[in-house]
């Protein structure tokens, strides 16, 4: 009773969650950099947040091409804003 498509879907969802967590972590570091006034921390965290966001967006495009389900951009953005 195994469906060969489920493993791919679980893997895709796991990578999506991992990418979203990296964006949230980077945004929290941006917030910390702003709060403490640490310019190097802020710049490094902002770069990490931007890179993570690009990777999340690229991953969403790859999921769309493969036909696997993914959250919409608005839903992902809402989740990120609520956790940041």
pTM above 0.75?
no
* 71 CB-near residues (< 8 Å, 6+ apart): 16, 79
pLDDT tens per residue across all 84 residues of the chain: 567 767 777 777 787 788 778 888 888 888 888 899 999 998 988 888 888 778 777 766 655 555 555 555 555 665 655 555
Structure tokens at 17: 């969650």
Joined tokens for residue 23: 């964006």
| Cα–Cα distance, 30 to 10 (Å, whole number) | 30
CB atoms closer than 10 angstroms to residue 53: 19
How is residue 31 written in tokens?
A: 């917030």
């Amino acid at each position: 009773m195994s469906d060969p498509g489920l493993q791919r879907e679980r893997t895709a969802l796991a990578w999506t969650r991992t990418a979203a967590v990296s964006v949230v972590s980077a945004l929290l570091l941006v917030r910390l950099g702003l709060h403490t006034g640490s310019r190097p921390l802020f710049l490094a965290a902002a770069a990490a947040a931007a890179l993570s966001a690009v990777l999340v967006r690229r991953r969403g495009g790859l999921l769309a091409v493969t036909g696997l389900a993914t959250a919409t951009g608005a839903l992902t953005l809402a989740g990120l804003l609520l956790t940041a």
